[in-house]
Amino acid sequence: MASLNVGNLGEYLREQRRNAQLSLRQLADAAGVSNPYLSQIERGLRKPSAEVLQQVAKALRISAETLYVRAGILDEKERDELETRAVILADPSINERQKQVLLQIYESFRKENGFEVSSYADDVAYADGSSFSDEVDATADGPRTADGSGASPKDHPSS
């Protein structure tokens, strides 16, 4: 899908704001931007930075990546990859270590299938303060159990 222009970004933001039942002023306050600036974005007069889009997305509780695509900052493929990571990171049914391992597996499959491993993987931060890049070599320190803890030699019949 081709990148959409700034006017379409503004229309999309206005629609999302209305769906969230927020006034322009309420959204501006929640996003930490000025009311006139947000109005100009909605009317297609201003192209916001990625940082502003992230703040607005957070206030609207929507994907920042979707806004990045609409603003022409990301292409559709990059967004899909980022959203996959975001879904994994947001899953409350698995712990932080499991999320990290799942992301490592995802990256290894992408690499095996000929896709470049995204530089965005380096930017993923976890609740415990670590990042994906901290964990890339984690599998080199030995086998792990399903819960992400270290497996002892007795857990592996081949040992």
In three-state secondary structure terms, 87 is helix
Long-range contacts of 131-137 (CB under 8 A, 24+ apart): 132/100, 132/103, 132/104, 135/100, 135/101, 135/103, 135/104, 136/104, 136/107
Examine the pLDDT at 69 and tell me if it is beyond 70.
Answer: yes
The overall longest dimension of the chain from CA atoms, in Å, is 67
Range from 9-18, 58-67, 143-152 carrying the lowest mean pLDDT: 143-152
Exposed e or buried b per residue across 86-95, where buried means at least 16 C-beta atoms within 10 angstroms of its C-beta:
eebbeeeeee
In three-state secondary structure terms, 12 is helix
Neighbour-count burial of 157, counting CB atoms closer than 10 A to its CB (0-12 exposed, 13-18 middle, 19+ buried): exposed
Q: Quick one: pLDDT band at residue 101, thresholds 50, 70, 90?
A: very high
pTM score: 0.50
Please tell me the predicted confidence (pLDDT) of residue 59. Answer: 94
Please tell me the predicted confidence (pLDDT) of residue 95. Answer: 93
Please tell me the predicted confidence (pLDDT) of residue 126. Answer: 42
- Average pLDDT for residues 22-47, to the nearest whole number? 95
